[in-house]
Amino acid sequence: MPGLARRLALLGLGVTTGCALKGDVRKVGLEVEALQAQISRSDSLRHSERDSILTAIAAVQQALTAQQAYLVQLRGDAKNDHLNIQQQLVSVQELTGQSQQRLTELRSQLEARAAQPITGPDTAAGAASTASPGAGGATADQMYDASLQQYRKGSVATARSGFRQFLQAYPADPRAADALFFIGESFGDLQPDSAAPVYAQVVKSYPNSSRAPTALYKLGLLAEKSDKALARTYYNRVIAGYPRSDEANLARLRLQSLGH
């Protein structure tokens, strides 16, 4: 490039002074054209490389932008999923708490009702048995009330004996199902092998009494400790035989807790 500049300068000087040859002028012109072509090719290559680099940079930037948008969306989806899971857990906890509260309420009602005697229909036979003295000259009312008082005081052995005497003396009394049920209650959870047959007898002998579903449900509770399949059978019997009873609601909850 500097040589060409000097040659052009000399040629220009020669032309100016009139000593430059025509061939020299032509040669310099060709060299200038060749250099211009080279420069053009070089600029074209630079432009091409620059365009390629810019294109690549644009593609990378576009990919980064897309990736960033995807990460933002993914982060948002993950946050939403986390919130949904938390809301579901809260709902499950609320439902569990409600079920547990309902179970506690029903159990309390059941236990309160179990401690109360049930007055049967006033029949001639029932009135006669109540008024007539039994063993030791005690009437049905006296024997039943005395046994119930002992049960409520916690003297379960005395109450059990009194209820048995009541049943022997007044087997047709309307409170016979109550007396038999309280005998089963007197054994409690400490003597399940003794309580279970009594509850079963209540269901068998007095299936239409209000003590029957309670006794059947109690059998399910006792069975849960050793035989969950048997417990489910008792609970299903409560639901099928006494669907509108409080014990049926309790049985459904117990089946849910057993994974039925």
Q: Which residue has the tokens 């940079």?
A: 57
Who has greater pLDDT, 18 or 91? 91
Q: SS3 letters for 209-258?
A: CCHHHHHHHHHHHHHHCCCHHHHHHHHHHHHHHCCCCHHHHHHHHHHHHC
Kindly report the pTM of this predicted structure.
0.53
Predicted local confidence at residue 252, as pLDDT: 96
Q: What is the largest CA-CA distance in the chain?
A: 168
Contact yes or no for 140/105 (Cβ under 8 A): no
Q: Which of 103, 50, 132, 112 is nearest to 221 (CA)?
A: 103
Q: Which of 82, 90, 169 is nearest to 133 (CA)?
A: 169
Who has greater pLDDT, 159 or 132? 159
Right CATH for 110-115+130-257 from 1.10.275.10, 3.90.280.10, 1.25.40.10, 1.10.10.10: 1.25.40.10
DSSP run (H or E) holding 18: none
Predicted local confidence at residue 30, as pLDDT: 72
Range 102-108, long-range pairs (CB < 8 A, 24+ positions): 102/249, 102/253, 103/250, 103/253, 106/246, 106/249, 106/250, 106/253, 107/250
Predicted local confidence at residue 238, as pLDDT: 97
Region 176-191: mean pLDDT is: 94
Per-position b or e across 197-224, b if 16+ CB within 10 A of its CB: ebbbbbbeebeebbbbbbbbbbbbbbbb
Contact yes or no for 199/218 (Cβ under 8 A): yes
The 10s digit of each residue's pLDDT in 75-133 is 776 666 666 676 666 555 555 555 566 655 666 556 555 545 444 333 333 434 444 45
Does 8 have pLDDT greater than 70?
no
The pLDDT confidence band at residue 146, using thresholds 50, 70 and 90, is very high
Predicted local confidence at residue 127, as pLDDT: 39
Distance CA 218, CA 185 (A): 9
Tokens coding 157: 């052995």
Tokens coding 192: 């399940």
Region 239-260: mean pLDDT is: 93
Domains in the chain: boundaries:
110-115+130-257
Distance CA 199, CA 18 (A): 142
Letter for the amino acid at 129?
S
Letter for the amino acid at 201?
Q
Region 35-64: mean pLDDT is: 63
Predicted local confidence at residue 111, as pLDDT: 55
Contacts of residue 109, defined as CB under 8 A and 6 or more positions apart, other chains included, come to: 246
Low-confidence winner among 150-159, 201-210, 251-260 (lowest mean pLDDT): 251-260
